[in-house]
Amino acid sequence: MRWVADSSIALAFVLPDEHSGAAQRFFASSGQMEALWAPALWHYEIANVLALAMKKGRIDSSQFDAALEVIGAMPWRFHAAGEVCHVRKIAATATRFGLTAYDAAYLDLAIDMQCGLATLDNALKLAAKKARVKVFA
């Protein structure tokens, strides 16, 4: 099955102080997945959280490198949206489900691809269920 996976689940898999059983279960099965999808903004979210974790002393540079190696080895595919109509579509999804545009980008991609969504974000999980998108639990 194809999945859209957000940064919350990826980061919970690689950050030692954000350990999550759900993230462990999800990524343990990633070898059986044809691809993990995310909007292109995923890169910026990952970079931001890892940079802040280093700045705050939660991880050191070797842990930063290890985290990137682990998540980089997974079968990621990224969707880049460059059309103004796509911005309108994400904004509509954000408004409809009460999400940030960032979270709406993940939900919108899962809807468009007709695949499941893996997230640890409770608001995004709830929105996905309302949109009848399968949520990894």
Average pLDDT, the chain: 92
- If you classify domain 3-130 with CATH, what class do you get? alpha beta
Q: Which pLDDT does position 29 carry in this prediction?
A: 83
* 21-68 pLDDT per residue, tens: 999 999 888 767 778 999 999 999 999 999 999 999 999 999 999 999
CA distance 50 to 88: 30
Evaluated on CA atoms 94, 95, 98, 100, the torsion sign reads: positive
Q: Which pLDDT does position 98 carry in this prediction?
A: 97
The position carrying tokens 């408004």 is 95
- Environment class of 124 (CB within 10 Å of its CB; exposed 0-12, middle 13-18, buried 19+): buried
Q: Which pLDDT does position 104 carry in this prediction?
A: 97
Q: How confident is the model at residue 85 (pLDDT cuts 50, 70, 90)?
A: confident
Q: Which pLDDT does position 106 carry in this prediction?
A: 97
Show me where the domains of the chain are located: 3-130
Q: Which pLDDT does position 83 carry in this prediction?
A: 73
pLDDT > 90 fraction of the chain, expressed in percent and rounded: 78
